[in-house]
């Protein structure tokens, strides 16, 4: 039985008496009126509504007294536990608590001033197509030599804080038996890993739409990638500008958010990449509208999955006209549209935005990045380029050992140009650019 305090007993008793009086009074006073009809002073009994009002108030007093009584009777240990539970702050890091410090350190290293990311995560098939374009056969040995050339570029880590690798490269060794991961680390480059397993047709979507696979065994794979040396990851999915379905947007957001949460739980910083495709005849305004629609859905999904935004990087496309639109704009316009869209949908908690080049020429990608860094931004605005870093380098290399040093010099020069662009200090008038740097590299329906 609960032990009531003296005050609680008084309140409870008063409330009970008042309640009883309220319900009885209308009838009692009616009786008095009949008995005292000859009384010179007319008596006006309270209305039944007044009685009900008094009763309701009284019942409230009873309820209050009961609550106070039982609260007072609760054991002190129970009270303390409840107070602690109520005041304990929500821990959004619970899914990756053991990796929190390292995740934040990785993000910090990847977003140092002047640094971006080298994307070299092309699949064996796509890498082979690149090599074949310069007359090199697609074999594992040739892919090994090409990737070793990239990661072994001296001082590359001063401009590229990380490199996204394909699975083959993560486990691959150099020609002299050193792990590619160790080669990258020695050069000041943090190894990253592509974890999606490719695009397939989206059932229920519109013709030509895709969704990205790879979630089923992602936890097991990311755990192993972390042990192997990777510290960040990338997942790419795509949405077209015109005639896209709500399902395509929803599926892209869901897949990216779940991937990001799983990666954080395994100690990998997730790069979120919903690429708004350059393919099409759309205008720059239509591109901006789709950009905002998709990114809004992505961040809503990230909130649903408990993704900690302080430990993610974003890899968007730039807001531009469609490749088949026949229109073009200057870097200032691209920067204006892109930054406006980012400011509308990307929370400032996100530390870095690393743009993909999307088939732009090397110079075009650098100029657009430079234009976006002409004034301070809430985020580290930088690059995560593949073709826009590798094109001139690959053509210089051409699969010949005697060209490796010259090819690495081209890569370093391209990385330095983009490093300056990240700082807003790239000047094309003083840049020594190769003719190949102006070549457009758009490929319709491009796949990695």
Active site residues: 273, 315
- Residue 189 main-chain phi, psi, to 5 deg: -115, 125
CB 192 within 8 A of CB 235: no
Report how far residue 353's alpha carbon sits from residue 358's, in angstroms, rounded to the nearest whole number. 15
The answer to whether 372 and 381 are in contact (CB under 8 A) is: yes
- Strand blocks (E) in 82-172: 116-120, 160-165
d(CA 178, CA 184): 10
Contact 72, 4 (CB under 8 A): yes
d(CA 237, CA 252): 6
Contact 351, 107 (CB under 8 A): yes
Residues 117, 118, 119, 123, CA torsion sign: negative
Q: Which two tokens stand for residue 380?
A: 């580290």
Dist CA 389 CA 18 (whole Å): 84
Query: How far apart, in whole angstroms, are the C-alpha atoms of residue 319 and residue 345?
Result: 14
Element housing 271 (H / E)? strand 269-276
| Residue 163 bridge partners (DSSP) | 118, 191
Compute the distance between CA of residue 144 and CA of residue 158 in angstroms, rounded to an integer.
Answer: 23
- The phi-psi region of residue 419 (left if phi > 0; otherwise alpha if psi is between -120 and 50; otherwise beta) is alpha
d(CA 322, CA 342): 19
Distance CA 226, CA 340 (A): 36
Distance CA 396, CA 10 (A): 94
163: its two tokens: 């490199």
354, containing H or E segment: strand 352-355
What is the distance between the alpha carbons of residues 414 and 427, in angstroms, rounded to a whole number?
Answer: 13
């Amino acid at each position: 039985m609960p032990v009531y305090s003296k005050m609680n007993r008084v309140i409870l008793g008063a409330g009970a008496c008042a309640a009883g009086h309220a319900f009885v009074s209308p009838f009692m006073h009616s009786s008095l009126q009949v008995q005292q009809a000859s009384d010179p002073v007319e008596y006006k009994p309270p209305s039944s509504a007044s009685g009900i009002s008094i009763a309701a108030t009284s019942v409230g007093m009873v309820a209050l007294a009961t609550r106070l009584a039982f609260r007072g009777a609760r054991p002190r240990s129970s009270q303390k536990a409840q107070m602690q539970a109520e005041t304990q702050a929500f821990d959004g890091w619970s899914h990756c608590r053991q990796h929190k410090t390292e995740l934040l350190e990785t993000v910090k290293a990847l977003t140092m001033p002047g640094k971006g990311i080298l994307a070299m995560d092309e699949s064996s098939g796509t890498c082979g197509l690149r090599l074949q374009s310069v007359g090199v056969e697609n074999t594992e040995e040739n892919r090994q030599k090409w990737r070793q050339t990239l990661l072994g570029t001296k001082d590359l880590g001063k401009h590229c804080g990380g490199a996204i690798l394909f699975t083959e490269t993560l486990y691959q060794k150099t020609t002299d038996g050193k792990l590619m991961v160790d080669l990258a680390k020695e050069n000041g480059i943090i190894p990253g890993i592509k974890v999606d397993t490719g695009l397939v047709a989206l059932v229920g979507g519109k013709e030509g739409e895709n969704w990205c696979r790879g979630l089923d065994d992602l936890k097991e794979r990311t755990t192993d990638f972390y042990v192997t040396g990777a510290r960040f990851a990338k997942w790419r999915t795509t949405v077209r500008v015109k005639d896209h379905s709500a399902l395509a947007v929803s599926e892209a957001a869901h897949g990216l958010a779940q991937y990001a949460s799983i990666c954080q739980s395994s100690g990998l910083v997730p790069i979120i990449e919903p690429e708004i495709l350059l393919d099409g005849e759309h205008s720059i305004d239509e591109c901006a509208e789709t950009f905002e629609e998709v990114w809004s859905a992505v961040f809503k999904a990230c909130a649903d999955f408990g993704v900690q935004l302080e430990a993610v990087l974003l890899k968007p496309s730039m807001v531009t006209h469609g490749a088949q639109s026949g229109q073009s704009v200057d870097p200032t316009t691209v920067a204006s549209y892109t930054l406006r869209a980012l400011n509308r949908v990307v929370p400032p908690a996100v530390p870095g935005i690393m743009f993909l080049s999307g088939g732009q020429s090397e110079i075009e990608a650098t100029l657009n990045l430079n234009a976006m860094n002409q004034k301070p931004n809430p985020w580290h605005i930088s690059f995560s380029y593949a073709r826009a870093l590798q094109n001139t380098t690959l053509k210089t290399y051409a699969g010949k050992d005697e060209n490796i040093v010259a090819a690495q010099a081209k890569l370093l020069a391209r990385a330095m140009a983009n490093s300056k662009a990240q700082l807003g200090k790239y000047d094309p008038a003083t840049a020594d650019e190769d003719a190949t740097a102006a070549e457009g590299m758009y490929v319709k329906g491009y796949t990695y």
